[in-house]
């Protein structure tokens, strides 16, 4: 069977070392990873199978992580991870959406690793660690001590390696291709769903060199009245001769996601709207120039806020968030945000989606930039011009 | 602002009545719905915003449900629900992926509804009810009694109304269009990602009459070695002159999803493989004919199992599951499964994806049928021929 690994074995090994180091520091013997991006990060695992219970277990006393999942998905574990066969453990299908708990199976593996009375870290705030999962594990391991290890791996993921940045550049090229294709599709009379379909096609097709993947959340294609509803669904309606479209598109390569948003004005925009766009672009460019290792996320946001304030605007939502490897439902890594009060110190290798979306009473505009922090400042991960597109 | 509602107000009202009736029966005063399909079912809410905490609260002492979500998503609540403005409650952005808990905000709304000492139902096994969410709510409402109300609404959803079936027929037509487009795209030399891209484009474009939507999980496009890995990701590789493709595609209309799987043989299949396909189709057809109100899910599965056994095959995974309204990450409603021991009695209006996928040691085949249970038997929701496609 052909192995499909996108990083060197040494890189995976270094990731596991970093996770174990942090576990030791916190006195955690066994770490139960329920978050798909964290599972991918430490093992390479990539299949859309985490909607049934699936765990990666990192134990201080066991060399490799152990993947635990559904019987039919063990083949994907063999194909997409470097794990030895013995570290791939599958529960039978009778556990799936039935009255049996797959967490009893997980607990048995933890016991094999000496977990009966261990200190066990779990991802309390993760998307795939339900209240039931926690209750079942606590019941199955009554003598263990459970501690919240949410974001433990996420904070290690926040600094990307050169190999990860290289994949994110490819994702950025896909994002550029998506924006070009989508903007080209926008014409009066085209149905909103057909605009969205063009974005999806390019997302998955990718570029001739780099095939694409599904994004963590659907492209946001918010049109007309919906430009002020950032996560609205498109409709079947044809585009009006004159309307505004907010497009938030994501290029994805080997599960690494790069986000790119632009607003398109179909028909000549009102002067006040063009002015708004100019302000956003100015603030974005000024803020990008301020990105440097050693500055804090909060300081970067302050540059944006002050530039905007000079023009009489303010922004309610955060200015951006850390991005990297991701699975549905969310691209954000849940670590650093570019927002007031976030004292994360920028380091080379961090990657952010800087997203100065403005949603005012009845207009919205979004012109954004994904970037990697570099020794000298930043590297933009997409090359689509930062401007209001007018068609 | 134009309201976008896909059901009559009376239908939503009847759903809320059914939910409250079940709450009364269980002595639940306040029900906190975290599952996006359940939120959609009782309010109509449709936006991809549930990756930050979002709840729909049904209280016996309050007429309408109350939506609680993020500030920037309140516009989607105004647009896509019938709720009065006062029943749309938004928390500010400083709660998002920060140290503050939006569940404190949820708890405050519950208190307004007399929740301080109430019996509160929560969806313990839901995808969007994390261990942290539960811990935060229990902390914020220390005198309340929390009970597991997971699947309470799901079991009401299991019987679809005529209006829901009508939308699922539209989703079925989209699924048919996707399969036709995807099979047409399959040619030697075409990259796997371009096959997937064709499926995605049609999924979102839909048909000329009915625009499409994103599926709960990505189309499964498992090719060559990956036909035995049902949830594997496609690659960038070009299709070989002779290979097998398993395609699991989903048409989605207004969040209602209909699933359709077919295997495509590129090049003439081995006689043993064609024979396997014939067995699967025979078993599928025989089992479909056995579907009738009054029979149990387990009985239906038994028909399939016996037909397969006559030819010397067995199937490890369940034969199917209830489908309907859905959001990522999973289409299954987590209620009835067509499996041994599931004593759910079939009723008119139930909808299943019957999926006799067979994954043997090194081959896999999947030819499936989504169907609605009718008074006289069943109605297929897709019309793609049940056969092995050969190109």
> Which residues have CB under 8 Å from B241's CB, separation 6+?
B188, B266, B267
Give yes or no for A361 touching B (CB within 8 A). no
Smallest Cα distance from A279 to chain B, Å: 21
Q: Encode pLDDT of A324-343 as tens digits.
A: 999 999 999 999 999 999 99
Specify the pLDDT at position B315.
77
Query: Is residue B132 in some structural domain?
Result: yes
Q: Which of B157, B189, B224 is the last residue of a domain?
A: B157
Smallest CA-to-CA distance from A288 within A251, A331, A320 is with A320
Domain check: are B171 and B228 in the same one?
Answer: yes
Residue B258 has phi, psi (to 5 degrees) of -125, 130
Which A-chain residues 42-81 have CB contacts (< 8 A) with chain B? 46-51, 71-73, 75-76, 79-80
Nearest to B329 among A51, A150, A231 (CB): A51
Specify the pLDDT at position A363.
79
Domain check: are A138 and A254 in the same one?
Answer: no
For A93, B199, B352, the CA distances from A71, given in Å and listed in that order, are 6, 27, 22
Cα gap A284→A303, rounded to integer Å: 9
Q: Do B97 and A214 touch (CB under 8 A)?
A: no
Query: Is residue B1 in some structural domain?
Result: no
Domain check: are A221 and A107 in the same one?
Answer: no
Flag whether pLDDT at A67 surpasses 90. yes
Domain check: are A333 and A288 in the same one?
Answer: yes
Cα gap A197→A201, rounded to integer Å: 6
Give yes or no for B133 touching A (CB within 8 A). yes
Domain check: are A218 and A350 in the same one?
Answer: yes
Domain check: are A78 and A178 in the same one?
Answer: no
Give yes or no for B167 touching A (CB within 8 A). no
Q: A223: domain range? A: 162-390
**Per-residue DSSP letters for A167-202?**
HHHHHHHHHHHHHHHHHHH--TT-BHHHHHHHHHHH
Domain check: are A130 and A220 in the same one?
Answer: no
What residues of chain A lie within 8 A of the CB of B329, using their CB? Answer: 48, 50-51, 328-329
Cα gap B131→B147, rounded to integer Å: 14
- Residue A228: pLDDT band with limits 50, 70, 90: confident
Domain check: are B249 and B133 in the same one?
Answer: no
Domain check: are B74 and B29 in the same one?
Answer: yes
Query: Is residue A3 in some structural domain?
Result: no
Q: Which of A118, A134, A157 is the last residue of a domain?
A: A157
Q: Which of A109, A136, A157 is the last residue of a domain?
A: A157
What residues of chain B lie within 8 A of the CB of A229, using their CB? Answer: 47, 72-73, 75-76, 79
Q: Do A200 and B204 touch (CB under 8 A)?
A: yes
**Per-residue DSSP letters for B82-119?**
---GGGEEEE-GGGTTSSS-HHHHHHHHHHHTTGGGSE
- Residue A83: pLDDT band with limits 50, 70, 90: very high
Smallest Cα distance from A16 to chain B, Å: 24
Cα gap A120→A107, rounded to integer Å: 11
Domain check: are A201 and A152 in the same one?
Answer: no
CATH code, domain carrying B94: 3.40.350.10
Nearest to B132 among A2, A125, A206 (CB): A125
Q: Do A97 and B337 touch (CB under 8 A)?
A: yes
Nearest to A211 among B2, B191, B230 (CB): B191
What percent of chain A has pLDDT above 70? Answer: 99
Q: Do B231 and A73 touch (CB under 8 A)?
A: yes
Smallest Cα distance from A228 to chain B, Å: 7
Give yes or no for A129 touching B (CB within 8 A). yes
Please tell me which residue of chain A has the smallest CA distance to B198.
A201
What residues of chain A lie within 8 A of the CB of B196, using their CB? Answer: 204
Please tell me which residue of chain A has the smallest CA distance to B78.
A229
Nearest to A318 among B51, B96, B339 (CB): B96
- Would you give the distance in Å from CA B61 to the centre of its chain? 31
Q: A303 near A290, Cβ under 8 Å? A: yes
Domain check: are B179 and B153 in the same one?
Answer: no
Question: 3-class DSSP state for residue A109?
Answer: helix
Query: Is residue A235 in some structural domain?
Result: yes
Q: A352 near A338, Cβ under 8 Å? A: yes
Cα gap A164→A7, rounded to integer Å: 8
Query: Is residue B240 in some structural domain?
Result: yes
Whether the full predicted model's pTM is greater than 0.95, yes or no, is yes
Query: Is residue B301 in some structural domain?
Result: yes
Task: Identify the residue whose tokens are 């014409």.
Answer: A187
CATH code, domain carrying A266: 3.90.230.10
Question: What mean pLDDT do residues A311-315 have?
Answer: 85
Domain check: are A18 and A53 in the same one?
Answer: yes
Q: How many other CB atoms sit within 10 Å of the CB of residue B163?
A: 12
Which B-chain residues 300-359 have CB contacts (< 8 A) with chain A? 316-318, 321, 328-330, 332, 334, 337, 339, 359
What residues of chain A lie within 8 A of the CB of B127, using their CB? Answer: 51, 127-128, 130
Cα gap A308→A317, rounded to integer Å: 13
Query: Is residue A345 in some structural domain?
Result: yes
Q: B271 near A87, Cβ under 8 Å? A: no
Query: Number of folded domains in chain A?
Result: 2
Cα gap B337→B142, rounded to integer Å: 37
Question: What mean pLDDT do residues A180-209 have?
Answer: 98
Query: Is residue B245 in some structural domain?
Result: yes
Residue-level pLDDT, tens digit, chain B, 391 residues? 778 899 999 999 999 999 999 999 999 999 999 999 999 999 999 999 999 999 999 999 999 999 999 998 999 999 999 999 999 999 988 887 777 899 999 999 999 999 999 999 999 999 999 999 999 999 999 999 999 999 999 999 999 999 999 999 999 999 999 999 999 999 999 999 999 999 999 999 999 999 999 999 999 999 988 888 889 999 999 999 999 999 999 999 999 999 999 999 999 999 989 999 999 999 999 999 999 999 999 999 999 999 999 998 887 778 999 999 999 999 999 999 999 999 999 999 999 999 987 777 677 899 999 999 999 999 999 999 999 999 9
What residues of chain A lie within 8 A of the CB of B139, using their CB? Answer: none
Specify the pLDDT at position B175.
98
């Amino acid at each position: 069977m052909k192995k499909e690994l996108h990083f060197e074995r040494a890189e995976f090994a270094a990731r596991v070392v970093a996770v174990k180091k942090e576990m030791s520091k916190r006195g955690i013997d066994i770490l139960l990873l329920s978050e798909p991006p964290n599972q991918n990060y430490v093992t390479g695992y990539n299949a859309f199978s985490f909607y049934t219970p699936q765990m990666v277990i990192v134990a201080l006393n066991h060399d490799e992580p152990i993947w635990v999942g559904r019987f039919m998905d063990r083949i994907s574990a063999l194909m997409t991870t470097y794990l030895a066969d013995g570290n791939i453990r599958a529960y039978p299908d009778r556990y799936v959406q039935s009255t049996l708990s797959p967490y009893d199976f997980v607990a048995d593996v933890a016991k094999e690793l000496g977990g009966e009375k261990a200190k066990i870290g779990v991802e309390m705030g993760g998307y795939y660690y339900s209240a039931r999962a926690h209750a079942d594990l606590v019941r199955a391991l009554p003598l263990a001590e459970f501690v919240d290890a949410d974001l433990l791996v996420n904070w290690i993921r926040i600094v990307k390696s050169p190999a990860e940045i290289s994949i994110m550049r490819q994702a950025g090229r896909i994002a550029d291709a998506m924006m070009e294709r989508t903007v080209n599709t926008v014409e009066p009379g085209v149905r909103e769903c057909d605009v969205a379909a063009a974005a999806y096609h390019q997302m998955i097709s990718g570029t001739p060199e780099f095939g694409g993947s599904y994004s963590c959340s659907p492209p946001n294609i918010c049109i007309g009245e919906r430009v002020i509803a950032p996560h609205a669904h498109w409709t079947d309606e044809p585009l009006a001769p004159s309307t505004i479209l907010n497009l938030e598109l994501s290029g994805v390569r080997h599960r690494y996601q790069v986000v790119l948003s632009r607003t398109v004005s179909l028909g000549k925009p009102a002067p006040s709207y063009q002015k708004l766009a100019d302000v956003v672009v100015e603030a974005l460019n000024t803020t990008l120039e301020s990105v440097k290792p050693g500055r804090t996320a909060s300081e970067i946001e302050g540059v944006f806020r002050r530039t905007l304030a000079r023009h009489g605007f303010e922004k309610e939502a955060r200015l951006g968030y850390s991005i990297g490897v991701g699975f549905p439902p969310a691209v954000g890594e849940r670590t650093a945000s570019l927002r007031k009060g976030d004292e994360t110190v920028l380091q080379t290798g961090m990657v952010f989606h800087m997203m100065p979306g403005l949603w005012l009473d009845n207009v919205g505009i979004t012109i954004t930039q994904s970037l990697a922090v570099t020794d000298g400042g930043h590297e933009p991960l997409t090359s689509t011009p930062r401007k209001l597109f007018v068609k």
